[in-house]
Amino acid sequence: MQVSHEVVNMELLQLYKVLGAEYDLTETHYTFGGHSFSFLSVFDSYALLDRISPEEFIKDEQMPYWAEIWPSAITLSSFIADELSLAGQSVIEIGAGVGLVSVVAAWKGADVLATDYSLEALRFARYNGMKNRVNLVYEKLDWRLVQCSTQFDLLFAADVLYERVNLLPIAMAIDKLLKPGGVAYLADPRRRLAEQFLELAAENNFVITSFPRKYIEGSKTVAVNIYKMTRQ
């Protein structure tokens, strides 16, 4: 077991050096379910905008949202740690970013596939999985064209309802990725687009239950809703 830890620590150090050569890094600590976690992310995500060429933006309109840890992800992670039993459950996270939610779900005993459209994000998710001593599987996933044939007991997503063009693809992706009887949990900072998404989900035979939460950091308070989606 000690050898295994040494190998992981060596891989962590190597990956940290690689990421540190490409990004200004920051490490943030959180406590979920009474357990301490540490997450690596990009210090200034706005600095990454200069890396996106006009050609790449026209092709995908992908902004580096993955590089930040958002209040919705923190709130969903807390919800998972405190209120869900995940032991033995199969879980997929879409739009995983640096892997906060996936790590906490794996810590709760789930078998987790962390997915994101950005391969850059998945490198951070891999680091954070190793750093927090949980087992994650990582895969690139485009929710506009889901090619993953596996279905899951649970799906998690935090702060993915930010562009109208993505609403229908996300609803369709959730429908394709969930097993019959499966449940999705989406966390969102109460954007108006979320209301449109919920209407769309209801039209596609999903029942929605809302759990209102608040994320508080110092003097900053963000209202976050966690939406539980089940099929009719």
Alpha-carbon dihedral angle through residues 41, 124, 96, 132, given to the nearest 10 degrees = -90
Check residue 45 and give its pLDDT: 63
Reply yes or no on whether the pLDDT at 57 is more than 90: no
Distance of CA 42 to the CA centre of its chain: 15
For position 60, what pLDDT does the model report? 55
The pair of structure tokens assigned to 150 is 């596996």
Nearest to 129 by CA among 119, 120, 138: 138
Which of 17-21, 60-64, 124-128 shows the lowest mean pLDDT across its residues? 60-64
pLDDT band at 47 (very low <50, low <70, confident <90, very high): low
What is the tens place of the pLDDT at every residue in 68-114?
Answer: 899 999 999 999 999 999 999 999 999 999 999 999 999 999 999 99
- This prediction's pTM: 0.91
Q: What pLDDT is recorded for position 46? A: 55
pLDDT at residue 1 above 50?
no
The residue-averaged pLDDT of 166-193 equals: 95
pLDDT tens-digit series, residues 115-141 = 999 999 999 999 999 999 999 999 999
Q: In the prediction, which pLDDT does 168 show?
A: 94
Rounding to the nearest 10 degrees, give the CA dihedral for residues 76, 23, 35, 100: 20
Residue among 144, 147, 161 at smallest CA distance from 201: 161
| HSE value, Cβ hemisphere, 13 Å, CA-based, for 11 | 15
Better-predicted residue by pLDDT, 162 or 134: 134
Give the pLDDT of residue 5. 78
More confident residue, 125 or 47: 125
- Output the pLDDT for position 58: 44
pLDDT tens digits, 164-179: 999 999 999 999 999 9
* pLDDT range class, residue 2, cuts 50, 70, 90: very low
Length of the chain: 232
**What distance in Å separates the CA atoms of residue 105 and residue 155, rounded to the nearest whole number?**
10
Percent of the chain with pLDDT over 90: 77
